[in-house]
Structure 1
Amino acid sequence: MIALLPLGTVDPQAVETLLDRAFGPGRRARTAYKVRLGTSEIPELSFAAVGDDGSLLGSIQAWPVALECDGGGSVPMVMVGPVAVQPDRQQGGIGRMLMERMLEAAEASSLPGADALMLIGDPEYYGRFFDFTAEKTPGWRLPGPFEPRRLLARGAGVPTGPGLLGARLRRAA
């Protein structure tokens, strides 16, 4: 049996080890890390998959980002990912379970940007199973290299038009 828990209830070092195993030690050089630099994951939208023995099998994180529109204004969004699964447990539906749980939480959320999700990922997978598309992302710029076909979004709040995507820093209340 696999339990889906808030990511904050799991040892942060176990999450880092999982991410290294799933994506390799060079993962921090990826553009996605540059987009969310300086912010922290959104607890309400970040989850862990834990086995019966308490072992971490997978994780999903979501991050506050914004599109700084070329014409002015800033649109809050949520960056989804990374979605990581222990290499020996991949292809078993754990990543899909995590993604479905995060999408349910986003749909029920009143957080700014929860209606405008984006990610960098495989369009065939994320489009087929989760309705992410590159339809509204042409013209978006990121602080590093990326394949435009892999820049995907979904939700009623997704902006159109050119702009720079970057971290949306949370301010103390």
Structure 2
Amino acid sequence: MPNLVPLSAVDPAVIEMLLDRAFEPERRRRTAYKVRGDAREVPELSFAAIDGDGLVGSIQCWPVRFVPDRDISVPLVMVGPVAVDPAHQRSGLGRRLMDHALAAAAASRRDDGLVLIGDPEYYGRFFGFTSDRTGEWRLPGPVDRHRLLARGARVPAGPGELGP
């Protein structure tokens, strides 16, 4: 079973290679990357899965901000990407990484405003994310509305923009 360690313990170039294997190099054009901007991941919420001496999974969390049309901005944490090496997919490693990051968010009291772009059936069923409050949010790129998910008491509803 892979060991989970802080993401900062892994060479960033190795993380990028994992992300390319798990997704595709064009992933950098996705809206999630535009939402995060040039931010650095939140160290205490970002983890790597190491099997032997190789990286087989990672989860990154990012500081983002929701700026409502009629109120003050709200800091949130964007969860993802959750990357698992193709040889380790369907092993439960992605779920383990999510559980670990969410537990760290709860321990650091940062779990009251989480957002991600992902499969609503999976992230809703296992982790409590919904699109109930994100329907009027604007993002700096296209997004399937049903895939823009959030959870936590600080997640605002209504129109506004999500970004770095």
TM-score by length of 2: 0.98
In structure 2, give the amino acid aligned to 1:77: L
Q: How does 1:1-173 map to 2 (within 5 A)?
A: 1-51=1-51, 53-111=52-110, 114-167=111-164
- CA-based RMSD of the aligned residues comes to 0.8
In structure 2, give the amino acid aligned to 1:30: R
In structure 2, give the amino acid aligned to 1:8: S
**Secondary structure at 1:84 match in 2:** strand
In structure 2, give the amino acid aligned to 1:19: L
Runs of 4 or more, structure 1, over 6 Å off, are none
In structure 2, give the amino acid aligned to 1:57: V
CA offsets per residue over residues 139-161 of structure 1, 9 Å max, x none? 10100000000000011111111
In structure 1, give the amino acid aligned to 2:44: E
TM-score by length of 1: 0.93
Query: How far is 1:54 from its partner?
Result: 1.4
**Secondary structure at 2:162 match in 1:** strand
- Unaligned 5+ runs, structure 1: 168-173
**Secondary structure at 1:124 match in 2:** helix
Cα separation, 2, equivalents of 1:120 and 1:127: 12
The equivalent residue for 1:171 is none
Cα separation, 1, equivalents of 2:84 and 2:99: 14
CA offsets per residue over residues 103-149 of structure 1, 9 Å max, x none? 000011145xx410000000010001101000111110100000000
In structure 1, give the amino acid aligned to 2:54: S
Query: How far is 1:72 from its partner?
Result: 2.7
